[in-house]
Amino acid sequence: MKEPGGRVRLTGVVVARDEARRIGACLDAISFCDEIVVVLDAASSDDTQRIVEARGLRCVVRVFMNMNDQKDFGRSVAAGEWVLNVDADEVVSSELKREILDVLARAPSHAAFRIPFRNHLRNVWIRRCGYSPDYHVRLVKRDYARWDSQAPVHDRVVVAGTVGTLSGAIDHYSFESVAHFLNKSAGYAERFAADAYARGRRARLATIAFHTAWRFFKVYFLRAGFLEGTVGLVISGLQAYEVFQKYVRLWERARFPDSGEGRAP
């Protein structure tokens, strides 16, 4: 569907849970979209839904399976020919806004576009530690791409066509604090362990120790975390702890089968 004047319609899709504090900035930054759909986790317990609906935007409350499942649902209900996917802790830069509008006005031949991310710990942009360069496919032609709902944790987009690259960035305020990082990583660990266990993977002492140590070494030394000073050390340690959680949780599922019944945070 096209707008008067020939420009294709663009739907912004936001996936959220308990994001009342941050979703306003996210929505403001995508107000240039012709339509905005917020897919809200049914377990959300704060004022996110009220904030979205007070703006006159569509809010769909849905049971959470995994992030890719939520994102693809948002894509499937979008009215626009193109879909811009953002999370509630992400802010589209003004440069990216202008670039998207310009690209869509020229009838792009690509079926999707990858977008660079600037990842932040609180308000500090992390330029190393494996956080940059960081690209994700987030702008897609609705009927030519889908998020793989079988992927349990990180984005996985299947595209029927070519993928272009934009230069404007999305600012990703990944972690408000160390406590916030730990809470999110616990959720990632739970979903990783559930998927890995179902696929027949198991973890032992050597598995846990090796993967944890390797992650710290890779982030701090190979990805130049040491050049970020104290922030780099903190991130390297947190990344290693996230891996530790993942494999300990996998070990726990095998050692104590009744431990896999909890819901990821």
The whole-number pLDDT of residue 132 equals 83
pLDDT of 33 reads 99
pLDDT of residue 133: 81
pLDDT at 258: 82
Torsion, CA 65, CA 71, CA 73, CA 77, rounded to 10: 160
- Quick one: pLDDT at residue 247? 97
Compute the residue count for the chain.
265
Q: Residues 13-58: pLDDT tens digits? A: 999 999 999 999 999 999 999 999 999 999 999 999 999 999 999 9
CA proximity to 82, closest of 90, 74, 93:
74
- CB-neighbour burial class of residue 185 (10 A; exposed 0-12, middle 13-18, buried 19+): buried
The pLDDT value recorded for residue 26 is 98
DSSP secondary structure of 94-129: HHHHHHHHHHHHT--S-SEEEEEEEEEETTEE--ST
pLDDT at 176: 81
Low-confidence ranges of the chain (pLDDT < 70): 1-6, 152-153, 260-265
First to last CA, the chain: 38
| Per-residue pLDDT at 187 | 87
Could you give all domains of the chain from N- to C-terminal order, each with its CATH number? 10-174 (3.90.550.10), 177-260 (no CATH)
Give strand pairing partners of 247: none
Dmax (CA) of the chain: 63
Q: How much is the pLDDT for 5?
A: 54
Cβ neighbours around 261 below 10 Å, total: 6
CA dihedral 108, 112, 116, 121 (to 10 degrees): 140
* Non-local CB neighbours of 201 within 8 Å, separated by 6+ positions: 250
